[in-house]
A and B are shown apart, each in its own frame.
Chain A
């Protein structure tokens, strides 16, 4: 590459860099390719991080969307005049403690007439959340004159029904028919006879689905056969037998089929009612009436339809009757979607549709308040001492090394400290924002000290000299001039430290802030939880609706974080000073 002069015993040889030969040019090209490759690795690394971040954020936001809205049924609720005893009519406590379940049941039955039997009725009432009467309760308590009237009220749906309207249900296809059909009855188990081979199309679909199930069973059997676990061989044999049976059914194109919950649900909408097909032949079906028919008369071509719920019942949270009911409410225009205010105004709950963040947000605010009150003055004071007054000796060195090391101690160890010291030794209350704030204060103290020292160091010494020059004492120079000028930097560091504290979870688990707490805390010694811990708690719950809640809580947490960091960046930009 370079000109080199080598001295040997013979005459000095002079070598030059060869730039013209084809080999040399190929070498240069190779080096440039290596250069481009190397550069692209770097770009790729950054893009990987960016893509990861984007996927993470998009994933969380997408998952969170369902939690920000809520579906309820707009129903007419008749409140009987004797709903509360006449002498208690103006007593809000009595109104609040009355039993609202019958009201709900009546309202639902009025909306969908003809539902009979304990089972279907229970299904109907279970569509509603246990918190459904809350709105009516408050309205009645505020205005007892409504008792004895019929009011229109939104009744909150249960989590599964709510999720059904948010896309966690099933696709529904409807097929018009060409011939006539005659139901045998209006309720119970009935048969419907069509004028032609009206159902053969459905029969083909069902056979195909059976073949698909058989294939899945074979795959599963193969997997089981490979496995060494005990009982795997029997399981494989069992699966193969099932598959054979399924295939036999699938091959016989003409035979009638019994439908079960592994297959898509087929229904017939006829005479204003809905029949769930249990046995399917090409020209007639047998089925259960889900919604009663108005009459058993013959339906004309086009007046009846075959409905398919594509997702098999076993793969859904809600059964066919519930789907039928919810669809009926929907066609009646009684389903209303609204912004989920409850999510921000109520505390935690075991019912996903009732659970809210208010308790966690309040707990976070109280905890961070304690943290801020403790760590800002202590951190700034320590920074001032170390930066301005500390003599250079071994003791100061120890403090410095110590602060740097503390910044790298795993946060869970601070939790152990909180548990052993604050809870066991000092006997402070468990789960309280006071202890949480103390632990977090110790956790972010190093961050704040380091940031404050950097901010103090950034103030030019000439300012301090100027103050000393007119006879200010060292402390006056620091507190009158250096500290105010360092304040924006200190504030920036503090906000970043507080953002760090806001996202911290592990140490708070250690001091018991993981309890299930419904009440919104009112003081720093009340039991409370904080946002990240709430996220952790919800993420552990089995209900599907809590997954959306968890994601929504994450979105709220991230919004707080972005606001805090944005403020820090704004502060830095706004007060940035070039000396």
Chain B
């Protein structure tokens, strides 16, 4: 692959290129406007690799908007303008020469509401590898599907009904299917936009366990409105308020000893 024009490594099974300690995602002076509305103001943040970073904050604070900047999902909204710089592995993802489709193959996403395709479980997982040409043969593809489902902790539950529709699964299973679908293309980063908000506590617990397991292989960024969840799954936490990144740091530090007044008020439940 021509590295000078493409920037991002190819869509091959993931080989960590850098030491885990280096920042995977670097955002500098990111501003987002929705038409007239200034949704994100001068956000600067470094996201470490092989760790979970949580974005917390009251509703409408811009945490989801910022998350969607990282795989340029905001491009689909015509009135949305993004300025500033976001780099993944030192490569500016808003560089015009960069193919957004390839970016999204590197940055997987799991959505608030489980949204499996109304197709078979197998097809759900196989779709990504297929459009990126990751499998050289049918057995190859079978293997990717199996591996992804296993990593998502779903394989044992669905291995006998891979051809059943993905929409027939329970909510929690659907969300894990979506995670399997995201990791089937071996992304570096997985973005999770309140992945448990539509799930019951038991399913939530399964997903949280899964996130913890996935941490060793991926850089995970999770948006959550549950502070307990942030405390449970993340290593680092960023607190957003009114489009501003108020505070960011080790999760434990944020929750026990926040530097900012607003963070403390939010964590202690004064507003939210």
Contact = CB atoms under 8 A, between A and B. Distances in A.
Interface in A259-316: none
A577 B78 CA distance: 28
B131 A466 contact: no
Contacts of B127: 467, 470, 472, 480
Contacts, number: 68
Interface residues of B, number: 29
A466 B113 CA distance: 10
A472 to B, nearest CB: 6
B116 A466 contact: yes
B117 A468 contact: no
A217 interface: no
A472 B178 contact: no
B117 A463 contact: yes
Interface string B77-117: 01000000000000000000000011111101111010111
A228 interface: no
Interface in A79-129: none
Interface in B119-149: 127-128, 131-132
Contact of A462 (B103, B105, B111): B111
A481 B78 CA distance: 21
A472 B101 contact: yes
B115 A468 contact: no
A227 interface: no
Interface string A429-471: 0000000000000000000000000000000101111111111
Interface residues of A, number: 21
Nearest to B178: A466
Nearest to A392: B78
Contacts of B73: 465, 468-469
B233 interface: no
B181 A466 contact: yes
Given A465-B111, A466-B178, A466-B181, A472 B131 contact: yes
Contact of B132 (A391, A464, A471, A485): A471
Given A391-B78, A476-B131, A480-B127, A469 B117 contact: no
B87 to A, nearest CB: 19
Contacts of B105: 470-471
Contacts of A472: 101, 104, 127-128, 131
A473 interface: yes
A149 B115 CA distance: 80
Contact of B108 (A392, A467, A470, A474): A470
11 contacts: A460-B115, A466-B181, A467-B127, A468-B73, A469-B71, A469-B104, A471-B102, A471-B104, A471-B132, A472-B101, A481-B117
Of all A-B residue pairs in the complex, the 7 with the closest CB atoms, nearest first, are: A471-B105, A470-B128, A469-B109, A462-B115, A471-B104, A466-B115, A473-B101
Interface of B: 11, 71, 73, 76, 78, 101-106, 108-111, 113, 115-118, 127-128, 131-132, 178, 181-182, 184-185
